Every structure is written in structure tokens, then in C-alpha cells.
Structure 1
Amino acid sequence: MERLAGRIILLSGVSRAFVGFLAGLLAVLAQPPFGIFAAAFVSFPVLVWLIDGVAPYPSDGAFRRLRQPAAIGWSFGFGYFLGGLWWLGNALLVEADAFAWAIPLAVLGLPAVLGVFYALAVVIARCLWSDGWGRIAALALGFGIAEWLRGFVFTGFPWNAIGYAAMPMPLMMQSASVVNLSTINMLAVFVFAAPALIWTGKGARTGLAIAVALFTAHIAFGFYRLAQPAPPSAAPQMAVRVVQPVIDQAKKLDDRERASIFEDHLSLTAAPVQGGGKRPDIVVWPETSIPFILTDNPDALARIAEVLKDGQILVAGAVRAEDAGAGLPPRYYNSVYVIDDRGQIIGAADKVHLVPFGEYLPYEDLLTSWGLSSIAASMPGGFSAARMRPVLTLPGGRRLYPMICYEAIFADEVDANARLADVLLNVTNDAWFGDTPGPRQHFHQAQLRAVETGIPMIRAANTGISAVVDARGVLVLVLGYNYRGVLDTILPGKLPTLTDVPTRSRIFWLSMAILSIVASFSRFGFDIRKN
């Protein structure tokens, strides 16, 4: 292995970039649907050795000195994001006549742009690089900053953050109840990169000991938390039905199919509970499951009232229209409605964080002049974003914290209002992406929100994956991709949070400070136990 490390260190030019690309591609195996977190223990040591091989000429200026590490980081990132996000092109095939031309932009362009974040990570690491174990602290620091920025720059896209690779199952998710995803991103890179020290680097025993201690604590805390009694259901018990209709996206876009789609949802709603279980108190339909503007269709509300039993509540994804004033087209919102057994809309929440190019067109005036449009172009101006995310209160007092589609991937946007809720609600329509890794990755990231908040989650997805998840991320019931049917269960209870959001933020900045100090001491010649 030492010989292999040496050969990687000596690479240059195209060969070094290609190995960086392959290392990034390999790291994708640590994300769903594979969940082979051991792959990261190979890809990140390779990245360390590639950075070890950077040897700028003494006469090089600052820009030239950073060009090589930037190229390594970008090639690693391009491989990682290409391998992890290629399925986005599938959404453009749904309306191929209009959007097939954009497939190269989605499949190649987005990974190329996201690769810039990892280029920045490696540049930051290289500025504090050394030949000791402090260099993996520098790499962890660089990736911690890059992943933090990726969460909000250009509206944010923290999909497949490195930290998720360290949390492939509930046993390994429990650390998220103590520290935030940004901290896990940093510590995961430190642990994943540690094997590089076995064959190259001073102070290997110190760095490896810290990495082993972090990984052991991560696993041990998971065992401890899952060994505790499952969170009991709050009284009175609330029975939940999750509807997964499996409607093909092309069918959802066909106006002639709207009535049959609506009736399909209603038939699943009315199906008897298997095994004679408790009748559902709340029925949940996926994102945009109501295939028309509900407020323009009083007959549809009457039909819902016919199907719902006394006291039942329907929570359904729908497009909501709002009058924008005289002479202006309506505003459209991606929403969820709460509808009672009399067919009355008694609550609604609109999506706050829209998908760029999917639900709205950034810089619309400029880009439309170039002939571009969003996938939601059938609605003039696309969708509008809500200013805030309300907590939905049901009859009887139960409260839902709604997250529509990919809002569930933004860990830092789950605000303090979530703790006021009894359950997290995630409705989505992953039919756009077909039977690819996309829906599995989306579900995995949503699942972590339950662990972070200590609040159970109801997730309704058109084609899957639908589930009820308890407050520790354990699946109570799940319906896999492309399985048509319903889930009937009793809603689990909440757990107290071990740390609050401000405390987790402070832990993140403290961890960043510690890594900065360790990397700086190692870089500038201080002795950090070179044993």
C-alpha cells in the first residue's frame, strides 16, 4: 500500500486529475442506494496523497501555487457529483421535446459548477498542508467550509453532503441528535482521510487514535440511543394513512388524466385498514397530488367530503392560485392543504425554498430573452415562494411542520418552529427522476431531519419512498419505490432534543476553530506530538 501511495503522490497533469476524478466517483458508493461507507475510507486517502504530490516551483506566484490543488479538488468534486447526480437528466426526459437540449447542462454542467466548492476545499487545505497528521485536519476544515457554503450559496444545494456517507443507517445517524450536519461533514472527512496516515505522514498514531475515537464514539452513541425504549405515541393515539399512488409523471402532465388521477387517490384513501386496525385519523397524499386548482373545483371538495369518514382529515399536496391584482396573472404556489370531512380547506402552507430552473427561473428577464424557461413554465412566471413556513394545526391540536419536496434536504432551514410540531411532514413527487438513485438519496436525507429534531416524520411520495419514521430515524413502516398502496400505522411520539440549534451552531464553529489550530500548528512548524 505504501508503494501505491507513492505512485499516487508522484502523479501529475492529466493522470493526477483522472485519479482525482475516479476517487470522487468511488466516494459516491458511500451514498444511497449503495450506502457502502467503507468506500470513503479509500477515496479520501487517495485525495490526501494527490494533494501530497503538489510541488509548485519556488518562483510561482500565489495563483500558480493554488492552481494545482484547485484542479485536484475540482476533478474529485466533478467525479463525485457526476456519479451522484447524473439522474437529474431523467427529469428533462419527461418533456423531452422541450427540455432534452438541457440534459448536458444538468448531467455535466451542474457537477462542474458544484466541483468548484470542492476545489475551494482543497485550496483551503493546501494553504495549511503539512507532512504530519495535521494535514487531515486541514482537509476536514476545507471540506467543512465548502459544504457549509454549498448549503446556501446561489440558493443552496447541499445534496449528498459528505456527512451523509457517515450515516447510512439509524445506528450511525444518532450523532445528528447532538451536532449539526455541518459538524458531521468536517469530522467525517477527518475520519475518512485518516487511513492515509498509516503509510504517509508524521504523527500517524496521534491522528489515527483521534479518528478511531471519533468513529467509536459515533457507533457507541448509536447503540446506546437505539437501546433506549422507542418513543411512545402521544395520547390520544393518532392513526395515519400515507397514500402512494405511483402516478407516472407523463400522465400527471396530461390534462385528460386529471379525473382518473384524482379518483385513484380517493380509492386508496377509502380502502379498508388491513387486519382490522384503527381507522386513519389523518390521510396524507403526496406533493401536487390534486391535479387541478382545488379552489376552482367545488365538486372535487364535495367528492373528498364523500370519501372522508367523520372526523378524518386529509393533508394533500396541491398547486394553490392567488389573485395578484387587476391585469396581472395569478400567483401560483406549491402547497399543502388541510381538508376536513366536510370538504372545507381549514389550513394551507406554501413552499418556501423553490427549485431553481424547476419551479422558477432565476434572472427571469435575462434568461427568457435567451429562450430559456423553467420546467414549470406552464404556469406564467413559474411558482412563487412563501415568506415563511407555518406550523399546521389540525382539529384536536396536533401540529404538522410541512416540508415540500427538496425542502427536506436543508438541515439548516428547519427552524425553531419545528419543535412546536408533533410531526414533520414531507410530501414529494420523485416520479420526475424515475427508478434511479435520486429518490433513495432524497429519502435518506429527509430521514435525518427526524433524528436532528427528535420529531417523527410522515413522508408521502408519489412513486416512493413513502414512510413513517420515528424520532430516532427508525422506519416504522415504509413503502418502497414504485409500490402502489397505503401505509397504516400509529404516529410515534417525540423525543427531547439533546442540544438546541444555537448550541449546535456553536459546536460547529468551535470544531472549525480546533481544526484550524491543529492544521496551523502542524503547517507552521510547531510540534504536535510527532510520535
Structure 2
Amino acid sequence: MHELRFSPALGCLLALAAGVLTTLTASPFELWWLAPVAAGLMYAGLPALTPAQAALRGWCYGVGLFGSGASWVYVSIHDYGYTGVPLALFLTGMFVVSLALFFALTLWLYRRLCGPRLAALTFAGAWVLGEWLRTWLFTGFPWLLLGSAHVDSPLAPWAPVVGVYGLSLITALTGSLGIEFLRRRWWALAPIATLWLIPLTLPTQWTQPAGEPLRVALLQGNLPQLIKWTPEGQRVAANTYSELTRAQPDDLDLIVWPEAALPMFEEEARPILERVQSNLSPDTALLTGILQRDGQGLYFNSVIGLGDVEGEYRKEHLVPFGEYLPLENLLRGTIAFFDLPMPAMTPGPARQAPILAAGTTIGNAICYEIIYADLVAERARESELLLTVSNDTWFGRSIGPLQHLQMARLRALENGRYVARATSNGVTVIIDPRGRVTARAPQFETTSITGEVVPMSGLTPFTRTGSWPVWLLAALLVIPGVQLHRKP
């Protein structure tokens, strides 16, 4: 079979479709088998393109991916950012087309530097290096990575070994080698089969219990975001979480409130927290998300504890436009969305010690941080349990919170740790070390869930190394295809 060639219009339409197919691999659709198909569509016909044509096709893929899979930002901009429909649509569109430039750059560099030698391998390596770039450049946005869909696929046992970027590499290789197979290059079937059969030989559990199970309760207040930061919202929050806590059984080891459960600073919340603590068993620890401010006027998004708790955590990786405003001097006052009544947060220090609660070391990831695989692996190395508190209320009834949950499940699988996830209005869950949800609260309800988590010891291969071996492998796959002096 000869090299596939598409007209420019058809190529762009196929790239848009491939982006949408990638969204369908994620929650709530979870059609993981479409991920290699999407990668194959992007690889097919690519060697026949000029660098500029490849960049356009990559950009179309990104528009299809983020336009279908991350347009939930419209909800936060319009519904909670006091922005009219036309401007909210414009800002959402700018968000989508800007993120799509990562794929344009990746495929432009791929066609500019790489020739036909080992094209299927160099394409997969370039794809993963593009994901690496998207993870760190401009604070990063590792959302809807190609490998994130495989928490429930036959490739799932690879996750504790190679992490999400390894899953992306395997997926991209499956897609590109699949196209080679369709070109009657029968040798391509052997590496595909090997990559998909190896998981049958991998251990199902890399870690082991480090102690007795803990009885935990995760509280979900379901407070309306539009009134949360008003005096009325503060009273409702204090009453809601106090009543939910009083309703819990006495034999709990740990109670968790979500991110910024009480919409006030720690010093303002202390009287409420102390009243709640006075009604708890001495053996019960309570952790809550809270805003802190210090004597120097700095603000932190934090997790603190009451009762049998030592230490605290301050969020390290902040959300641009959500927790701080890039180019603040230029943007403040331009539109209401940039003037939300939220102080600019300060990032917490790197490599913070885990919180010790109920005799268990707990690694924390506040909201957005759970999507950073290497940051979570760093926390897992020093802890027996992972905790993530979040406020996904900003994204309403969109698919965003469900995608967020899927990534939290993959972090549990990568690190062989239980993950307790407490959110303001869902999805509040307990996840076991194999990425399975063992308890789940319904979304958009004022409720709580109780269940058991087991402190785990031992490290998975991915927890030990993080993603750098996969990034190095991706670079090594690209290097043989590089042609520094290509003929026209």
C-alpha cells in the first residue's frame, strides 16, 4: 500500500475528527480503544506533508480535542465569571485555539527535522515529547493526555511501570504501527502484539498494606458557587459542614472536608473548627481545605488538620487565571472575569513533608495538582495514602469533573496507593491502589461517604523513577529519524 495522501481539507477534517475521538476515550465516554485510532489518523499521510501543512493538521487536531474535551471552561467563565455569552465564547475559543498550538508545534518540528527513516517510531516519540512540553511550558496543562484513557483498558497494568506518558507512547506506537500494518508491512504486528500482551505478565499489585485499614468519611457540602464567598455563603458552609460532621459515626479515624470548604481564612474559621473538634472523638482526625494568609500579606491554598494531626500542606502548583492572574497589571479591570474577588495565591514550597493524620502519612494534591503525574509520584514516595481535595463546582454539570476523576484514578494506579478524593459537589470518591472506585457520592447532593482506606508501603517502578525514563526513551526514538540536512 502506498503512502496515504489526503487533500488539505480532508486532512484537516480527519485531524479534527481524531481530536474528538481522543475526547471520547476519556470519561464519561471511556472508549479507550479509540485512542490508537486517533493516533493512527494523525500519523497517516503525515510523511507526505510539508512542515507547514503538518502544523496546520496538528492545530486542527488540537482544536478538535480541546474544543470537544475542554470547552467546560466556558462554564466557569460565563456562569461564575460574570461574563456575557459572546465574550465567554470568545475567551473559550481563544483558550482552545491557543492550546492547539502545542500540537501544531509538535508536528511542525517532527516534519521539519525527521525523515522517513523509522517514521512510525519517531512519530510516537515526537508525540510524547509534545505532551511533555504541554505539561511544563507556561505552567502546563496535561489534560487529556493520550495515555489517560487506559486506566480501564488492557494496558492498565503498564501504568505502575511507565506512568501516563508511557501509556501515551504505547498508544501512539500502536496507532502508527497499525498504519504500517495496513500498508502490508506485516512486521508491524509483532511489536503491537508484544506491547499489548506484556500486561498479562505484569504484577497486579506492586505495594502492600502498611497497617490496619482506616475508617474515613469524605464530606460533600454542595454549596452554590455564586453565593459561596458572600456572608450568607459563609454561614451556610459553616452550618452544612458542622451538621455533616455531627452526623458521622463515632468510630471514624479520619474526616475530610473539601478544598476551601469554609470560604474564609483560617483565623476566621478557627472558632468554627474548634467547635466541630470538641464534638469529635479524641481518636478522630479532621482534615480540611482552607485559605491561609501570613503576616507578610501572602495567601495560600492549604490543607490543615485538627485532632490527631501533625503538619499542613500548601498548594505548590497553582492554576493560572484561577488562583493567580498572569500579566495582572494588564488584565485587571479589563473584564469582570479578571476581577473576581479572590486574592492571588502564593505557591507553597517544593518537597513539603507529608501530613501525619491518624497515624498515617498522607501525601496531598489540591484540585488541579492531581493531574500532574510526577508531582503526585513525588508525594507518594514519602506517604502511605494520597489525598486530593477539590472544588469542581466551577465546571457545573459539564464533563470536566468526570475527566478530573479519571486522572485521579490513574494516579492511584500509577503509585499503588489509595486515593481519598473529597470535592465540593462531586465527584467525591475513594479509589483503591488498582484505580477502582470503592465508594462514590452522587454529584450535586449535600452528602458524605464512609469507607475504608489502607495505608500502603512499597513503591511502584513509576513512583521510584517518575516519567523521565519514558521522556528519555521518546527522545531516543526521535533521534534516529532526525535529518539535519534534508533535501527539498
Q: Which moved more, 1:116-125 or 1:70-79?
A: 116-125
The 1:477/1:363 distance shift into structure 2, 3 A limit, reads same
Distance 1:179 1:298 in 2: 43
1:80-159 aligned at under 5 Å gives the runs 80-98=65-83, 102-127=87-112, 134-159=118-143
CA contact (8 A) 1:359 1:383 kept: yes
User: Deviation digits for residues 468-512 of structure 1, max 9, x if unmatched?
Assistant: 222222222222432442221222231522426564555324422
Q: Which residue of 1 aligns with 2:429?
A: 467
Q: Which moved more, 1:87-96 or 1:477-486?
A: 477-486
1:478 paired to 2:456: no
User: Deviation digits for residues 68-95 of structure 1, max 9, x if unmatched?
Assistant: 1111111111111111101111112333
Q: Which residue of 2 aligns with 1:433?
A: 395
Q: Which residue of 2 aligns with 1:191?
A: 174
TM-score for the superposition, normalised by structure 2:
0.90
Q: Quote the offset at 1:213 in angstroms.
A: 1.3
User: How large is the Cα RMSD of the aligned pairs?
Assistant: 2.9
Which protein has greater RCO, CA pairs closer than 8 Å, 6+ apart? 2
Q: Which moved more, 1:72-81 or 1:174-183?
A: 174-183
CA contact (8 A) 1:360 1:374 kept: no
Distance 1:75 1:81 in 2: 10
Distance 1:175 1:237 in 2: 27
Q: Which residue of 1 aligns with 2:372?
A: 410
Q: Quote the offset at 1:410 in angstroms.
A: 0.8
Q: Which residue of 2 aligns with 1:320?
A: 292
CA contact (8 A) 1:471 1:495 kept: no
Q: Which amino acid aligns with 2:245?
A: T
Residues matched between the structures, number = 486
Q: Which residue of 2 aligns with 1:260?
A: 236
Distance 1:489 1:464 in 2: 16
1:270-285 aligned at under 5 Å gives the runs 270-273=246-249, 279-285=251-257
Q: Quote the offset at 1:447 in angstroms.
A: 1.7
Distance 1:198 1:237 in 2: 49
1:348 paired to 2:320: no
CA contact (8 A) 1:24 1:80 kept: yes
Q: Which amino acid aligns with 2:16?
A: F
Q: Quote the offset at 1:429 in angstroms.
A: 0.6
Q: Quote the offset at 1:97 in angstroms.
A: 3.0
1:294 paired to 2:266: yes
1:367-386 aligned at under 5 Å gives the runs 367-368=331-332, 371=334, 377-380=340-343, 382-386=344-348
Between the aligned residues of both structures, percent identity stands at: 27
Distance 2:262 2:294 in 1: 16
Q: Which residue of 1 aligns with 2:275?
A: 303
1:332 paired to 2:302: no
Question: Tell me, which stretches of 5 or more residues in structure 1 are unaligned?
Answer: 55-64, 325-329, 525-531
1:452 paired to 2:414: yes
Q: Which residue of 1 aligns with 2:32?
A: 37
Q: Which moved more, 1:139-148 or 1:206-215?
A: 206-215
- Secondary structure of the residue aligned to 1:464 is coil
Q: Which amino acid aligns with 1:450?
A: A
Distance 1:373 1:365 in 2: 14
Distance 1:229 1:186 in 2: 22
Q: Which amino acid aligns with 1:188?
A: T
1:225-244 aligned at under 5 Å gives the runs 225-226=203-204, 231-232=208-209, 234-244=210-220
User: Deviation digits for residues 133-172 of structure 1, max 9, x if unmatched?
Assistant: x32212212111110011110011111111113x142764
CA contact (8 A) 1:390 1:401 kept: no
Q: Quote the offset at 1:96 in angstroms.
A: 4.8
Distance 1:480 1:389 in 2: 34
Q: Which residue of 2 aligns with 1:175?
A: 158
User: Deviation digits for residues 418-441 of structure 1, max 9, x if unmatched?
Assistant: 322121110001011011110011
Distance 1:83 1:51 in 2: 23
Q: Which residue of 1 aligns with 2:54?
A: 69
Distance 1:19 1:139 in 2: 17
Question: Tell me, which stretches of 5 or more residues in structure 2 are unaligned?
Answer: none
The 1:102/1:216 distance shift into structure 2, 3 A limit, reads farther
The 1:374/1:155 distance shift into structure 2, 3 A limit, reads farther
The 1:100/1:320 distance shift into structure 2, 3 A limit, reads farther
- Secondary structure of the residue aligned to 1:394 is strand
Distance 2:379 2:63 in 1: 36
CA contact (8 A) 1:451 1:473 kept: yes
- Secondary structure of the residue aligned to 2:218 is strand
Q: Which amino acid aligns with 1:367?
A: L
TM-score for the superposition, normalised by structure 1:
0.83
